[in-house]
Amino acid sequence: MLKIEEHSALLLIDIQDTKEPDHFSNMYKTEEQKKRREFYHENAKKVTDYFRKLGNIPIIHVIELHRDDLVDFGRELDGSEGVHCLEKDSIFWKPCAPIEGEYVIPKRRYSAFFGTDLEILLRGLKVEHLYICGGMTDICVHYTTVDAHQRNYHVHVFKEACGTHSPVEVAQAALDNIEYFQSGSIISVNDLDA
C-alpha cells in the first residue's frame, strides 16, 4: 500500500483530447497504440479519483497548447511530431478534466516547468513531493520529471498512468532513466488502496 507523503501535489500532464474527434490519431495510429492510450487514461482517472477522495492534496492539470498560427512551435516540428495541440482544437480529456478548486497550467513546451508559473504555484502550495501521471512518458512526463528532480522535488511516477505512442521499450527506457536519477520513484497504480 502506498503512503502519500506530506507536502504533496498530483500533477497531471497533457491528459487531453481534441474537440474534433480522433485528431490524436496522427500520433496514436494503430489499434495497439490507441489501446495503450485508453489504458493509461483509465489509470490516470483512477489516480485522479483517489486523490480527489483524499481531498487535501492539490491537483494540478497541465495542458499543452500551441497558438493556431503556429508561432510558438520553436523546434518542435523538426523531429517526429507533426502540428499538435492547437488552441482551437484542444480540451482536457473529460473524465480527468479539472473541477473547482484544482489548478490549471498551460504550457508551450515539453517540460511543464519551461516558461510556465508551475514553480511559483508549487512554492505557494509548499509542495515537496510530486505524484505524476500523463503523457507522453518519453517526452513531456520524462522532461517534466527531470526538471522537478533538478529543482529538488521528490518525484513519484505512476507507471500505468503514463503513456506514449512510442514503442513500449522506449517508454520503459524513459522510466528506467527516471529510476536512475531517483531510486524508488516509479510506482504502481495497484499500490493505491481501493
Partner 1 sequence: MKIPEHSALLVIDLQAGEDTDGIPLMEGSTTFENAPKIIKFFRDHNLPVIQVRELHRADMSDFGRELDGTEGVHCLEGTVHEQFNPLTAPVESDYTFYKRRYSAFLYTELDLLLRCKGITTLFLIGGLTDVCVRFTAVDAHQNDYHFKVVTDCVTGSSREAHEFALLNMKYLQRDSHVTTQEILEAEV
Q: Does 176 bind partner 1 (CB under 8 A)?
A: yes
Please report how close the Cβ of residue 38 comes to partner 1 at its closest, in angstroms.
23
Among 61, 109, 156, 159, indicate the residue that binds partner 1 (CB under 8 A): 109
Q: Does 143 bind partner 1 (CB under 8 A)?
A: yes
The residue count for binding partner 1 (CB under 8 A) is 31
Q: How far apart are CA 52 and CA 102, in angstroms?
A: 10
Q: How far apart are CA 84 and CA 48, in angstroms?
A: 25
Among 34, 179, 186, 192, indicate the residue that binds partner 1 (CB under 8 A): 179
Please report, as a single letter, which amino acid is at residue 61: H
- Beta-strand runs (E) in the chain: 8-13, 16-18, 59-64, 90-92, 103-107, 129-135, 154-163, 186-187
Task: Please report, to the nearest 10 degrees, the dihedral formed by the alpha carbons of residues 155, 62, 17, 88 taken in order.
Answer: -160
Q: Does 82 bind partner 1 (CB under 8 A)?
A: no
Closer Cβ to partner 1, 55 or 79, answer by number = 79
Closer Cβ to partner 1, 24 or 153, answer by number = 153
Among 79, 82, 100, 123, indicate the residue that binds partner 1 (CB under 8 A): 79
* Residues in region 39-68 near partner 1 by CB under 8 A: none
Please report how close the Cβ of residue 83 comes to partner 1 at its closest, in angstroms.
15
Q: How far apart are CA 74 and CA 9, in angstroms?
A: 30
Q: How far apart are CA 146 and CA 18, in angstroms?
A: 27
Positions touching partner 1 (CB under 8 A) are 74-75, 78-80, 109-111, 114, 138-139, 143, 146, 149-154, 166, 169-170, 173-174, 176-177, 179-183
